[in-house]
Structure 1
Amino acid sequence: MAKFEKDFLLGASTAAHQVEGNNVHSDYWLMEHMEYSQFVEPSGDAVDHYHRYEEDIRMLAEAGLNAYRFSIEWARIEPEQGKFDANEIEHYRKVIACCRKYGVEPIVTLHHFTSPAWLIRMGGWDNEEVIPLFAAYAKYVTEQLGGELNYICTINEANMRLQIHALMERFKKQMMAKMAAAKSLEAEKKPEGMEGQVQVGLNLNDPMERMKLNAMENVKVFGDPQPHTFVSAAGENGDEIVCRAHKAAKAAIKTVRPKIKVGITLSLHDMQWIEGGEEKAQKEWEEEFTHYIPYILEDDFLGLQNYTRTTYGPDGIVPVPAGTPMTQMDYENYPEALEHCIRRVHEELPEVPILVTENGIATGDDAQRCTFIEQALAGIERCIADSIPVIGYCHWSLIDNFEWQKGYALTFGLCAVDRTTQERFPKKSLKLLGSYR
């Protein structure tokens, strides 16, 4: 086993809403607590990282890791439009100081899926007003905390809204086909394998009637049956708004602290194809990655996030063959995908350093996670040997946490948690990852 160079950023990632708990001013908190919520359970106290961050950062450092990617929660910083909470800024100042105390490089993400509820009531991520509002938030955070930061990711998985749009279009088509074929309750079951086509925890198990009731509740809470949260379907206009918000935030950060390295993260699949599927695979890659190049060409790094591959045939996505090892997220267990994505990104964006900001596996078998890590990191080593500028790897995730609409059943973490006592139980995979330094 090779070890990475001393300056290589080797660490783990979390997202504020998934680990902190009680993010009461966010859109997700409200959606989780609806009577007809699409979330299988609310986030609640999560894993109480808000109060236990030092315990978790110390655990990460003692395992040998030197980087921690985490997000600052916009809804905490600006719970009401234009009103910033100095106490919450002080909290994140302490988190950053804690990282420095233990020799860990803090890699901050300014937006990781959740948004202030007031923003969504304004039209959310389909309203162009989000661009200056997000830039103002980025500027404030940088003014307050930027002196201790070297890396900022503006937006997590900026392409997620297009991925959700494509998924929902496929979902609607399959649902219509099923309902036409069988006028029964069976027609309302989710198409098999659909949730595994997007790299976020979605729940498509709800029957159509419950979805309708949820839409009615959305009107009461947000003023819109389909509120434009960050993890909702968006077309070209919504996608462009996200890209412009990134550029505006980057400009605001650089105005305050020019030396901070700023990038964005993208959710990428290893696009493969069988005979007749190359054109569809190339089209999907263009939508998932290539068309973002003009917006990220001058960034200081790209945050690359990959979990699996997708294979295309002449009729679209090819189902995973029966018997293929799968993860709890209904993804194919395919760690080789990370190397393939790194190489393809580098071909099209050769001058921009790559920071792997998420890569991991949802499994209850930590031996399987260890094997996944070994194979993924072997791919990174080969890329570095070929002079591809990979500057770091942050595993998803540091700790088992709230996987969005899927709740707490899925386990991505290098550390388990007893959520009754909030006691931490580091897994062998954490020690394994740290041994690469």
Structure 2
Amino acid sequence: MVGDWVFPPGFLWGAATAAYQIEGAVADDGRGPSIWDTFAAVPGAVEGGASGATACDHYHRYREDVALLGELGLGAYRFSTAWPRVMPDGRTPNAAGLAFYDRLVDSLLEHSITPVLTLYHWDLPQALQDRGGWLERDIVSWFAEYATTVHSRLGDRVQHWTTLNEPFCSAFLGYGNGVHAPGLRDPRGALRAAHHHLLAHGHAARALRANGATSVSIALNFSPALPDGPDDHDAVRRFDAVHNRFFLDPVLGHGYPTDLLDDLAHLDGLEPAVHDGDLAVIAEPVDWLGVNYYAPTRVTSLADPTEPSNCPLPGLRGMSVLPPRAPLTVTGWEQHPDSLTDLLTHLSQRCGIPLVVAENGAAFPDVVDPDGRVRDTDRVRYFAEHLRAVHTAIEAGADVRGYLAWSLLDNFEWASGYGPRFGVVHVDFTSQRRTIKDSGQFLAQVAARNAVPGGHLG
């Protein structure tokens, strides 16, 4: 099932993780609490009452995990720095926290693995949330300070920088419908938080460049909207505007889409947050775009365009989200690789910059057999079909420079706790034993067959 695909020279093969999902050690070496520590302590907020307090204990086992990447022959590792570890109060650098990322980066380079660093993967310091968090405009300068601090320490060894991961989730799920930290339910506030995320991205991108960074990106999560029938084009437009174009268009310098502003006018939440000059900052050029893709969303139009949607995103009216179609993953997400091909082809034409699949993966029920092997056949098939989709997009002209599987390790999956397993490496959360799954071996084979030097991300 490895396939005979030939990817471009220098195509980056790797895996991705996020700090709060794997590091644990939430009280070690001066780390401050994050909004996810606080949120996980709320009864019922996370499945099984779980938290990232220990997670994969990566903070103490990073050398073992980096060695696993090396064993798999994956040449890139996308990870995030934890803002509350680097700056426990959100403003003051913590030497011990920065030293951990020093050690991690050095270990990656010792194994000839390219670090791809994400500055923010949802773990805001609780001290900043107490001051308003992403609802407060001052967070823009706080984030730029954080970006500068991390780059000053690691910029001599880390080339590739991502400002934010999935601001859609951080703003809309954290501040809009409350299913993620900090657990607020305020559609108007969610729009303001989303704008502040994008503005912080722009200021951080400028700060990184001012300090010498030459490879800067943002990672956005896309869900292509699929119409249920020929009369559902407006449903596609409405969903695409809020889920996808809300974040992509201003980053590309096109501002917020006019149809989006019309759709959201009844909330009066976005436009008051936008000050003169904001859109120019958000449009600070990026060198490549991180594309996170898991599943499409099926939609249909409602007879009344003013009727509220069943989709819990800010401002959506006149459309409804339909159940996904089989085959599904454990998380109930539709497996539809053709949507990834179409997405990458569209984005390459629209953006005009290199793309990297920064996250793609699936959760399935994994079992460690008595012989110690994890035969995750469904995940192997998932990766094969989606890598074929990436290759098809490249053949159609899409400028895709890399593929980073989600995730290297089974980990804390946010509000879902430890139920869904996305890793290509199985983690026994009691013993912390790691076991490479068949899907990990599959990715290793694909990477080995396409290990052609040369190329660059941006």
TMscore range, shorter length: 0.7 to 0.9
Is the aligned partner of 1:336 residue 2:338? Answer: yes
* 1:269 aligns with one of 223, 226, 243: 223
CA apart distance, 1:436: 1.7
Gaps of 5+ in 2: 28-32, 254-284, 303-318, 367-375, 448-458
Distance of 1:378 and 1:341 partners within structure 2: 14
Is the aligned partner of 1:255 residue 2:263? Answer: no
Distance of 1:344 and 1:299 partners within structure 2: 18
Structure 2 counterparts to residues 179-328 of structure 1, below 5 A: 202=179, 226=184, 234-259=189-214, 261-273=215-227, 274-291=229-246, 292-297=248-253, 298-315=285-302, 316-320=319-323, 324-328=326-330
CA apart distance, 1:43: 2.1
| CA separation of 1:102 and 1:3: change in aligned 2, threshold 3 A | farther
What residue is the counterpart of 1:16 in the other structure? 19
Distance of 2:353 and 2:6 partners within structure 1: 23
| CA separation of 1:319 and 1:119: change in aligned 2, threshold 3 A | same
What residue is the counterpart of 2:60 in the other structure? 51
| CA separation of 1:88 and 1:166: change in aligned 2, threshold 3 A | closer
Contact 1:4 1:436 in 2 (8 A): no
What residue is the counterpart of 1:126 in the other structure? 135
| CA separation of 1:74 and 1:227: change in aligned 2, threshold 3 A | farther
Distance of 1:111 and 1:321 partners within structure 2: 30
Code of the aligned partner of 2:101: Y
| CA separation of 1:92 and 1:112: change in aligned 2, threshold 3 A | same
CA apart distance, 1:80: 1.9
Deviation readout 1:111-168 (Å, 9 max, x if unpaired): 0011101010000001001000000000011111111111111000022256438984
Q: Secondary structure at the match of 1:84?
A: coil
Structure 2 counterparts to residues 46-195 of structure 1, below 5 A: 46-161=55-170, 163-164=172-173, 168=177
What residue is the counterpart of 1:358 in the other structure? 359
Distance of 1:386 and 1:314 partners within structure 2: 31
Code of the aligned partner of 1:265: A
**TM-score using structure 1 length:** 0.82
Contact 2:176 2:190 in 1 (8 A): no
> Which deviates more from structure 2 when the two are superposed, residues 301-310 or residues 51-60?
51-60
Q: Secondary structure at the match of 2:162?
A: strand
What residue is the counterpart of 1:173 in the other structure? none
Deviation readout 1:354-390 (Å, 9 max, x if unpaired): 1111011111251111111011111111222223110
Code of the aligned partner of 2:347: V
Code of the aligned partner of 1:16: A
Contact 2:177 2:184 in 1 (8 A): no
Code of the aligned partner of 2:35: D
Distance of 1:372 and 1:38 partners within structure 2: 27
CA RMSD of aligned residues (A): 2.3
Distance of 1:406 and 1:339 partners within structure 2: 28
CA apart distance, 1:419: 1.3
Contact 1:168 1:233 in 2 (8 A): no
What residue is the counterpart of 1:210 in the other structure? none
Distance of 2:102 and 2:161 partners within structure 1: 14
Q: Secondary structure at the match of 2:167?
A: coil
Distance of 2:36 and 2:321 partners within structure 1: 33
Distance of 2:124 and 2:210 partners within structure 1: 24
Q: Secondary structure at the match of 1:262?
A: strand
Contact 1:361 1:412 in 2 (8 A): yes
Distance of 1:82 and 1:383 partners within structure 2: 43
Distance of 1:58 and 1:233 partners within structure 2: 45
What residue is the counterpart of 1:376 in the other structure? 386
What residue is the counterpart of 2:400 in the other structure? 390
Distance of 1:76 and 1:87 partners within structure 2: 8
CA apart distance, 1:37: 4.1
Distance of 1:346 and 1:149 partners within structure 2: 25
Contact 1:320 1:332 in 2 (8 A): no
Is the aligned partner of 1:424 residue 2:434? Answer: yes
Is the aligned partner of 1:400 residue 2:410? Answer: yes
| CA separation of 1:63 and 1:30: change in aligned 2, threshold 3 A | same
Contact 2:348 2:398 in 1 (8 A): yes
What residue is the counterpart of 1:32 in the other structure? 40
Q: Secondary structure at the match of 2:7?
A: coil
| CA separation of 1:158 and 1:37: change in aligned 2, threshold 3 A | closer
CA apart distance, 1:344: 2.0
Identity %: 28
Code of the aligned partner of 2:12: L
Distance of 1:121 and 1:166 partners within structure 2: 14
Deviation readout 1:217-254 (Å, 9 max, x if unpaired): x9xxx9xx8389xxx98443222111110000011111
Distance of 1:336 and 1:142 partners within structure 2: 37
| CA separation of 1:99 and 1:5: change in aligned 2, threshold 3 A | farther
Distance of 2:213 and 2:327 partners within structure 1: 46
Gaps of 5+ in 1: 170-201, 204-217
| CA separation of 1:327 and 1:166: change in aligned 2, threshold 3 A | farther
Number of residues of Structure 1 aligned to a counterpart in Structure 2: 380
Contact 1:338 1:359 in 2 (8 A): no
CA apart distance, 1:435: 1.5
Code of the aligned partner of 1:295: V
Contact 1:277 1:313 in 2 (8 A): yes
Distance of 1:161 and 1:361 partners within structure 2: 20
Code of the aligned partner of 1:154: T
Distance of 2:213 and 2:61 partners within structure 1: 32
Contact 2:16 2:408 in 1 (8 A): yes
